[in-house]
Amino acid sequence: MEWKFDFATAGSIHFGCGKIKGIVDLLTRVDGPVLVVHGKNAEAASQLTRQLDSSGLAWESFVISGEPAVDTAAQGAEAARKLGAGQVAAVGGGSVMDAGKAIAALATNPGPPSDYLEVVGRNLPLTHRPLPITAIPTTAGTGSEVTRNAVLAVPEARVKVSLRSHWLLPQAAVVDPTLTVSVPPAVTAATGMDALTQVLEPVLSLRANPMTDLLCEEGLRVGCNALMSAYEDGQNLEARTKMAWVSLLGGLALANAGLGAVHGLAGPIGGMCAAGHGEICAALLAAVTRVNLRCAAAGRGSPELVRRFDQVGKWLTGSEHASAEDGVRKLQAMRKALHIRGLAALGVKREDFGTIIKKAQVASSMRANPIQLQPDELMEILEEGSES
Ligand code: NAD
């Protein structure tokens, strides 16, 4: 690995239990009302809007249900323009934060969302700065509070793709683990496995750098135990704090080193079935890691890759004697212990595997995978990921 890298993140990061209480001071000082983007459950957002009210700041809310599609983002941008919003505050899971980021960008940039979308759109750069964004996660999974993309579903192409720009980095990321305590166990499991994926894929990525390696090592050392504890007892604030930390580390790492085949497959699959992003990643993680490792051991990747896999095995298991294969076994055991459903149970049909593979091969995340996986290897992964 070359000791040469760039690293970009949110304007500021505010981490810790109770950080939501000082949120008004973390918004940017601009004219115009705040567009508060939130999910169906407005409880977390109300902690922000109560403070806005007592500070005399005008605001309006825009509600997101489910993972955002291009139309949702376009409608939100229209709402922001009508309101004359000066900034966007997004309080919710990755779906809400991504919606907020896309709305902030589309509110100031002309034309349809497809102008700015990768893979299926024109992939044009933004020409105007988005409205300033404050991102406040209520799940521990995506790390979107510190990433420079917003994932949107494109229903007519049956795929999820990103709107990407350096300008999508929020001006402030406010990570308060208390906001995640209400997340139910199945969502804790799925989003937590996404967080784990996002500290694993960047360390094996072709774009890994010394800074992201450091972040991933910490995330992989902490993630497995913290996720099991948060799953078993959602009120365990120490475990919730550690998972919020792992999720943040994943966001920092992926924004600067990219991802891999789990996310390369998850984009197309997410556009073709109703399952949540976390569940899809959770179903695929062990299978992708196993196949990547087999290819690495056969000499298909860089010589350093095998050493990296061994290191991952040690970090995941917490044992200095563990091998790369032990790391895969740990991921398989996690999938079982967290009752992660297979792709078949999530509604992914076998007859769609061919289309998924074709779309995955051109997905942006696939380009960072350390091995150039062949269609038959992607098929093997989908078959293993389908098992319950
Ligand atoms: P999500 O935001 O869709 O939330 C999952 C479920 O949990 C929803 O039903 C939501 O209402 C609920 N929820 C959220 N917070 C809650 C809380 N505190 N208590 C109870 N319920 C709560 O799931 P997610 O995994 O956080 O985000 C997924 C989205 O993020 C996908 O669209 C995915 O593609 C995207 N993503 C983006 C990035 C990025 O860097 N921009 C990275 C990874 C994933």
pLDDT digit of tens for each residue in the chain (388 aa)? 778 999 999 999 999 999 999 999 999 888 999 999 999 988 889 999 999 999 999 999 999 999 999 999 999 999 999 999 999 999 999 999 999 999 999 999 999 999 999 989 999 999 999 999 999 999 999 999 999 999 999 999 999 999 999 999 999 999 999 999 999 999 999 999 999 999 999 999 999 999 999 999 999 999 999 999 999 999 999 999 999 999 999 999 999 999 999 999 999 999 999 999 999 999 999 999 999 999 999 999 998 999 999 999 999 999 999 999 999 999 999 999 999 999 999 999 999 999 999 999 999 999 999 999 999 999 999 999 999 8
Task: Give, as one character, the DSSP assignment of residue 374.
Answer: -
Q: Is the distance from the beta carbon of residue 289 to the nearest atom of ligand 1 less than 6 Å?
A: no
Torsion, Cα of 371, 376, 382, 386 (10° steps): -140
Give the pLDDT of residue 3: 87
CB atoms within 10 A of CB 182: 13
The top-level CATH class assigned to 184-386 is mainly alpha
- Specify which residues 175 forms β-bridges with: 15
For residue 73, what are the contacts with CB-CB under 8 A and spacing of at least 6?
99, 102, 103, 106, 113, 150, 152, 163
Q: Kindly write down the DSSP assignment for every residue of 143-207, as one continuous string.
A: -GGG-SEEEEEEGGGTEEEEEE-GGGS-SEEEE-GGGGTT--HHHHHHHHHHHHHHHHHHHHSTT
Q: What is d(CA 91, CA 71) in angstroms, rounded to the nearest whole number?
A: 20
Query: Which residue of 237, 246, 277, 281 sits with most ligand 1 atoms within 8 Å of its CB, as the best mutation to test the pocket?
Result: 277
CB atoms within 10 A of CB 33: 16
Distance (Å) from CA 365 to ligand 1 centroid:
19
Q: What is d(CA 220, CA 202) in angstroms, rounded to the nearest whole number?
A: 11
Q: Residues of 213-241 as b/e, b for ≥16 C-beta within 10 angstroms?
A: bebbbbbbbbbbebbbbbbeebebeebbb
Q: What is d(CA 45, CA 59) in angstroms, rounded to the nearest whole number?
A: 12
Give the pLDDT of residue 388: 87
Nearest Cα residue to atom 17 of ligand 1: 183
Torsion, Cα of 328, 199, 387, 296 (10° steps): -50
Query: Which residue of 91, 95, 96 sits with most ligand 1 atoms within 8 Å of its CB, as the best mutation to test the pocket?
Result: 95
For residue 141, what are the contacts with CB-CB under 8 A and spacing of at least 6?
93, 94, 190, 191, 192, 194, 195, 247, 278
Q: Is the distance from the beta carbon of residue 150 to the nearest atom of ligand 1 less than 6 Å?
A: yes
Distance (Å) from CA 382 to ligand 1 centroid:
23
**Cβ contact 46:40 at 8 Å:** no
Token output for 358: 């074709």
Nearest Cα residue to atom 43 of ligand 1: 142
Q: Is the distance from the beta carbon of residue 39 to the nearest atom of ligand 1 less than 6 Å?
A: yes
Q: What is d(CA 372, CA 366) in angstroms, rounded to the nearest whole number?
A: 8
Distance (Å) from CA 360 to ligand 1 centroid:
21
Q: Is the distance from the beta carbon of residue 191 to the nearest atom of ligand 1 less than 6 Å?
A: yes
Q: What is d(CA 123, CA 237) in angstroms, rounded to the nearest whole number?
A: 41
Task: Give, as one character, the DSSP assignment of residue 288.
Answer: H
For residue 368, what are the contacts with CB-CB under 8 A and spacing of at least 6?
201, 205, 206, 207, 257, 258, 259, 260
Q: Is the distance from the beta carbon of residue 100 to the nearest atom of ligand 1 less than 6 Å?
A: no
Nearest Cα residue to atom 14 of ligand 1: 93
Q: Is the distance from the beta carbon of residue 160 to the nearest atom of ligand 1 less than 6 Å?
A: yes
Q: What is d(CA 326, CA 293) in angstroms, rounded to the nearest whole number?
A: 11
Q: What is d(CA 362, CA 378) in angstroms, rounded to the nearest whole number?
A: 13
Give the pLDDT of residue 93: 98
Spans of all domains in the chain: 13-179, 184-386
Ligand 1 atom at minimum distance from 162 CA: 41
Angle, helix 261-272 to helix 277-297, in steps of 10 degrees: 140
Ligand 1 atom at minimum distance from 179 CA: 18
Question: Which of 290, 185, 273 has the alpha carbon at shortest distance from 227?
Answer: 185
Distance (Å) from CA 67 to ligand 1 centroid:
7
Give the pLDDT of residue 371: 97
Distance (Å) from CA 147 to ligand 1 centroid:
14
- Specify which residues 174 forms β-bridges with: 14
Distance (Å) from CA 322 to ligand 1 centroid:
33
Question: Which of 313, 263, 298 has the alpha carbon at shortest distance from 371?
Answer: 298
Q: Which amino acid is at 205?
A: S
Nearest Cα residue to atom 20 of ligand 1: 183
CA 256 to chain centre: 13
Q: Is the distance from the beta carbon of residue 183 to the nearest atom of ligand 1 less than 6 Å?
A: yes
Any idea which fold 13-179 has?
A: Rossmann fold (3.40.50)
Q: What is the pTM of this model?
A: 0.97
